[in-house]
Amino acid sequence: MSLTLEIAESVQCIDAQSWNALTSGMPLLSHAFLSALETSNSVGHGTGWQSRPLVVHDDGQLVGAIPLYVKSHSYGEYVFDWSWAEAYQRNGLNYYPKLIAAIPFSPVTSARILVADVANASAIQSLMLQALLEVMHKHQLSSIHVLFPDQDSAALLKQAGWMQRHGVQFRWENEDFQSFDAFLSQLNQEKRKKIKQERRKVDAAGVICRRIKGQDITEEEWEFFYQCYQNTYLEHRSKPYLSLDFFKSIALSMPANILLVIATLDGVPIASALNFYDQKTLYGRYWGCMQYVPNLHFELCYYQAQEFCIEEKMRFFEGGAQGEHKLARGFKPTATCSFHQIADPEFAQLIEDFLIRESVGVAEYTNELEQRAPFKLNLASSQSFIVNSNGE
């Protein structure tokens, strides 16, 4: 083998076509999405996110990569390790900087250990995992965290002995529904009636919703969406992670993967929700409103998205982090995970013990969610999971 490995200065330094060839078409892993984060300074100087993708070449051809970031805080990750950082601080140690493999600001499960379809794929993956450990020790980083890996990446990390942390999100599955009513027919009477009432109330208020694909979104509509996006953060007294320049960039570079839903009242736009999608999955990401209308959030963020999946024959709708209210709207609890390496041996043992205890709580929570499933006969999701006391 003639493999060479390096830590690149940014995603922009990497050939877009070569990078995208490793991502299986996942839009939030695309070169366009990740480089837009950099060019808009949503990640970069002063943000606490320093892009340092790990790449492997074989005779000049890109054959492996990991979207990698040096972090000086824990914001925008959705796998919460603030208590770990506080424990380090109490003991006079530095938790930051740390290293994470993730899609910034996106709690979306997908590949993290990217590799080409080549004969030596396993060797390339092993090389990258070993390189992560070497980088951690060489640069005296406290830890490495791989967030929301898919099953293939997770299997590699588990086999390599990384500590696993369990989580749960909510995902909607399109079971070949021919219409939204066909989907509703799978729910019990109480939940079916509630959804119909919510939709009727939005309609009776005079709200009109439009689903607009990326290539048809106007500059004015993008600017309105950004007002909504900003307003969501302002209501929570926080600062938006993403700039208008980021959204303008992806509008030009990846329109085929974008769906914008806009709600209007008396011809005036009042709310919007932004989604990304590929052939199989819709990813709900951002929402905001400028005028409150009861149940509008559910209509814009869930029902419009579900209808889009049915029309486009897409199998999954990933609704994002948190939100037990999604359960009543046909979403099912789905396992997520992250993997961790801790440089300090004593803290590594303490965190491993914590993760084992935490996994029991996650299992109990998930089993409770399964019991509250809104489907007829309380049918359990084929995607459900149980975590035992050993964290497996």
* Side chain identity at residue 213, one-letter code: K
DSSP 300-312: IIIIHHHHHHHHH
Q: Within 13 Å, how many C-alpha atoms sit on residue 299's CB side?
A: 26
Residue 339 CB-density burial (10 A; 0-12 exposed, 13-18 middle, 19+ buried): buried
pLDDT at 383 over 80: no
* CATH 3.40.630.30 location in the chain: 3-161, 175-314
In which residue are the tokens 């900003």 written?
Answer: 230
pLDDT at 388 over 80: no
Tokens representing 392 are 């497996």
Span 231-240, mean pLDDT? 92
Helix (H) or strand (E) holding 7: strand 3-7
Spell out the alpha helix ranges (H) of 254-344.
296-298, 304-312
Pick the CATH number of 3-161 from 3.40.50.360, 3.10.110.10, 3.40.710.10, 3.40.630.30: 3.40.630.30
Query: Among 142-156, 317-331, 369-383, which range has the highest average pLDDT?
Result: 142-156
SS (H, E, C) 348-369: HHHHHHHHHHHHHHHHHHHHHH
pLDDT at 181 over 70: yes
Pick 77 or 384 by higher pLDDT. Answer: 77
In which residue are the tokens 């609704």 written?
Answer: 319
Query: What share of the chain has pLDDT > 70, as a percent?
Result: 96
**Per-residue pLDDT tens digits for 288-327:** 999 999 999 999 999 999 999 999 999 999 988 778 899 9
Angle between helices 121-138 and 151-159 (to 10 degrees): 60
Q: What is the pLDDT of residue 384?
A: 40
Pick the CATH number of 175-314 from 3.40.630.30, 3.90.1150.10, 3.30.930.10, 3.40.50.300: 3.40.630.30
